[in-house]
Structure 1
Amino acid sequence: MIVKAAIPLIGEYGAAVTTSKIAQAAGIGEATIFRVFADKEELLDACMAEAIRPDHAVRELSSIALDQPLADRLCEAAEALQAHLARMGAVAGSLHASGHRRRDGATGESARGMGREESMASIRGAVAELLEPDKEALRLPAEQIAAVFLGLLFAQPRVDDEPTIAVRELVDVFLNGALATSAEPS
């Protein structure tokens, strides 16, 4: 509850957010924060760990209806994953810009709940599940297609933190290729 209340405030104030503001947002007394966390730095580390956890994104992906067309499923997935990246970026960017650095003991898998590879594997697995209804039409196994989709989604160019290509266009290029239907490759 404390971490969930603190994350939006960290996005707004960075490490300068006060424990008083966090307590108010959580509807608790400020002393309660220090019964749960040793100090504000530990709370900020916990907020970063929560922001990068893939659980929320995986739940969003798992809630996408499998009976809709593949393009629609992938558009919903892309939007959910872009929101996940935006949440992570807002917290990490605000903390970094305000000078917060994780303590030496708060690195690695224990601080984040799981390692990067495990996190990506859970997201890739959830995207592969979205591909399963169409697995007979896929050129590669669903896990490989999911990895390619994530690579395309996460590597797309951005201007002012916004993707330069709309989600629907990205999914169309992913599913149908880069060439217009009447174009002939040279």
Structure 2
Amino acid sequence: MENKRRRVPALAPEERREALIAATIPLLHEHGVDVSTRQIAQAAGVAEGTIFGVFETKTSLVVCSVIKALDAQPTIDALAAIDRSAPLRDRLVLAAELLHARFSENAQIMTAARKLVMTGDAPAHMVANRERLHTALTEVVTPGAEELRRSPAAVASLLLLFCGANTYGPFGDPDNFSGEETVSLLLDGLLIRRGTH
């Protein structure tokens, strides 16, 4: 009996586009921008030529996949779910853990994004994601703003800076700087307090 390759059912162009992007994202985590169209086609269960029936170039597929992978909405939804009645420190620890997880998960994708010449709408998407993430984090900080000597927006910026540098910076170490340690650094500083005067 002849062993025939199972055909993937025909998809509408937009569904095919989304299926190719979905197949590309895990490969970007593994291979970065060096992923081949052969690997993408194999993961998507299509012929290699199918890719070019949907995307002009491999780069355009990779850029669309990077944009999709870096979508901030899942993190924004998780930030929105943090109980605003919890103490400020507890809320910030939860937020920091979410940010650490997001940045760690997307580290390879961010490296891929930096290697690409981002054209078209890609830079605007990246900026919009950062702004949306900052706004969501500011909303987590706002209840209890009277406890802080900086505005909620400034505290959100600092927390994003700490979490981002911990993941992407040359001196970062997510194992040593957990969400709790990051928040302690932000709220308490580094001085040992022997008492207040």
Give the conservation status (yes or no) of the 8 Å contact 2:27–2:35.
yes
Find the partner of 1:93 among 111, 117, 125: 111
Partner of 2:145: 135
Q: TM-score, normalised by structure 1?
A: 0.73
- The DSSP-based 3-state class of the residue aligned with 1:179 is coil
Instruction: Compute the displacement of 1:46 (Å).
Output: 1.4
Question: In the alignment, what sits opposite 2:135?
Answer: 125
Structure 2 counterpart SS, 1:114: helix
1:12 aligns to 2:30 (yes or no): yes
- Looking at structure 2, the residues matched to 28 and 62 of structure 1 have their Cα atoms a distance apart, in angstroms, of 38
Aligned to 1:39: 57
The alignment status of 1:179 with 2:191, answered yes or no, reads yes
Other-structure match for 2:173: 162
* Counterpart contact for 1:15–1:94, Cα < 8 Å: yes
| Total equivalences in the alignment | 177
Question: What displacement does 1:75 show?
Answer: 1.9
List structure 1 segments (4+ residues) > 6 angstroms apart after TM superposition. none
1:113 deviation in Å?
4.3
TM-score calculated relative to the size of structure 2: 0.70
Amino acid at match of 1:182: R
In terms of mean alpha carbon deviation, does 157-166 or 33-42 score higher? 157-166
**In 1: Cα distance, 2:177 partner to 2:99 partner:** 15
In structure 1, list runs of 5 or more residues that go unmatched: none
Q: Quote the RMSD (CA, aligned, Å).
A: 3.2
Q: How far did 1:94 drift? A: 5.1
Within 1, Cα distance between the matches of 2:45 and 2:81? Answer: 30
- Take 2:150 and 2:34, find their aligned partners in 1: how far apart are those partners? 48
Partner amino acid, structure 1, of 2:101: A
Name the residue aligned to 2:119: 107
Whole-angstrom distance in 1 between the partners of 2:98 and 2:172: 16
